[in-house]
A and B are shown apart, each in its own frame.
Chain A
Amino acid sequence: MNTSTKIVTTLVVLLSTSLAFAQDEDIGEKDELKIAALEALIMVPPEQALPRVRKILEGNSSDDVKESALFILSQMDLPEAQTLLVETARTSEGALQEEAIQMIGVGGDPAALSALKGMYEVGDIDIRQAVLEALMIAHDVDAVMEIAMAAEAEAEFEAAVEMLAVMDATEELRSLRDRPGMSGALIEAFIISDDAETLREFALDGSNKERQLEAIEALGIVDGDQAGATLMSIYQGTDDEEIRGAVLDGMLIADYDDGILELYRASSDPTEKTELLEYLTMMDSEALWEIIDAALEGED
């Protein structure tokens, strides 16, 4: 008896034993046994493992057991395994369906991945999210881009561009930058993808104030110390209170207390100085005590 045959024999015994336990053993124990048997299936030839996984998926096992079976399927290099994943994704419901969809992404089979498009079109919000996650796992940038371009509702667009950002699809995201009414979703995507260059352009572009305000704060998140010079130039180049407030928030986020200190020292407006001091206090700046002492002594 060779090793594979021994393993298969052991598995058959394990699976049979788990069925025999059904009537008088705790469900948790039964599930544990089935899951252990499924884990061992990774060691046997896929042609022998597949019918057993199919039996689990078509039977009355718990969702936990079936989800484990789906992961085993995703690890099989057999077209029939990927077909079974698609079948399960189409015919199951709820969490099991979402898991089957994700496992299609883990499997990465092109034919199975192409079936996700139809599921996305007819699916609810959870199914659509599961499809996006599967495409992210499979790193299928084109498919996610297609969804983003076809999206009409802001929430749908947002979910797709965020996934593009997670996938570091910088060029694809930049090609969507002028999509009207979607600046919030795009700014967030540029934050996730760490695209300081595009955010800097938005932050300096006064033609769309809402987008500019969001981009200024976002710049502080992604660009850290590098954001300092840009934020300083925006602050010094405007009298707009909203924009100045966004710049200070950006500096706070970037922990750029040197910039705020410089603005404090350059300012002769008591109201502005008070506001800048508040920011330095929030940032727990090292220069704070020096400034407070100077202010108390009546110096600049």
Chain B
Amino acid sequence: MNDEKLTLYYYNDGLSRDERQQVVNMLASEQDVAKRYQSICRQLDSLAEVEVATAPPDMVERWHESINRAARAAVVVSPKPVLHTWSFIWGAAITAALAIGIGIGIYVSGDNASEVIVPNTLVTSSRNSNAFVRGLQVHLRESEQGLSATPFNSTADRTLLIMSIIEQNRLFERVAQQNDSDGLARVLRSFELVLVRLAADDISAQEAAELQTKLLFELNVVLTKLARDTSDESQTI
């Protein structure tokens, strides 16, 4: 009984009724299989139960102060703020703040919230590569759901949400690049450009709506492509 089958069993996906019954029987009769399954459950639960932690107000205030200070120290004023790379400094600042302050990552362990599994370790084998793809799917799906559910007029909530998405997006982009998934890395970088624009203070509701529609479309396409690749439809795009 391989781990892949146990993973499919966990997700209730891709196994026939007979195969599922076979897994049930094995779990009941083979102690080592049951142990492995428990371990897989723990790992996958930690991916599935990701929640974007709400930062305490005083911490949020400190981030804003830090960002304001950084902005005051800026040497150059951007003529086109939504596109300007100064936004990336902002992004870097929040990344640092988030890294210190809250465990927002998909890879936060369920057993110990302070223990973050380094993403690179997740793709050193095909089994872990699957975990990476699963994790990425969770990230993209949650980004999609989070953006859809957060109203445009809720600026503070949206900013926090986008900050957390950017942080996760960067983790996945790095892992993708380190593991020669250049296509994914490029798509994730392009997502960040849109996310940074979405987080800009001076964006109008209409522009935000348009960007969000664009991003949701692209997230959907990538999710579909990932699902397609996972199911090994070799004759498609």
Q: Tell me the A residues contacting B by CB distance below 8 Å.
A: 3-4, 35, 39, 41-46, 49, 64, 67-68, 71-72, 75-78, 102, 105-108, 129, 133, 136-139, 158-159, 162-163, 165-166, 184-185, 187-188, 191-192, 194, 214, 217-218, 220-221, 249, 252-253, 255
Contacts and interface: CB of A to CB of B under 8 A. Distances in A.
Interface in B186-237: 186-187, 189-190, 193, 210, 213-214, 217-218, 220-222, 224-225, 228, 233, 235-237
Interface in B161-192: 177, 182-183, 185-187, 189-190
Nearest to B75: A184
Contact of B193 (A133, A191, A218): A133
B1 to A, nearest CB: 29
Contact of A42 (B70, B83, B182, B237): B237
B76 A158 contact: yes
Interface stretch (B11-19, B44-52, B85-93, B120-128): B85-93
B236 A253 contact: no
Q: Is the interface of B mostly helix, strand, loop or mixed?
A: helix
Contacts of B88: 162, 165-166, 192
A192 B74 CA distance: 11
Nearest to A220: B73
A69 B182 CA distance: 21
A187 B74 CA distance: 10
Interface of B: 66, 69-70, 73-76, 80, 83-86, 88-89, 92, 177, 182-183, 185-187, 189-190, 193, 210, 213-214, 217-218, 220-222, 224-225, 228, 233, 235-237
Nearest to B210: A64
A195 to B, nearest CB: 12
B199 to A, nearest CB: 16
B190 A221 contact: no
Contact of B236 (A46, A107, A191): A46
Given A4-B236, A162-B85, A192-B92, 13 more contacts: A39-B217, A39-B220, A42-B221, A42-B236, A45-B235, A102-B190, A106-B187, A137-B189, A138-B186, A162-B88, A165-B85, A165-B88, A221-B70
A contacts with B: majority SS: helix
A252 B69 contact: yes
A68 B210 CA distance: 12
B64 to A, nearest CB: 13
Contact of A75 (B66, B193, B214, B221): B221
B11 to A, nearest CB: 20
Contacts of B84: 162
Given A42-B228, A49-B237, A72 B85 contact: no
Contacts of A41: 237
A217 B73 contact: yes
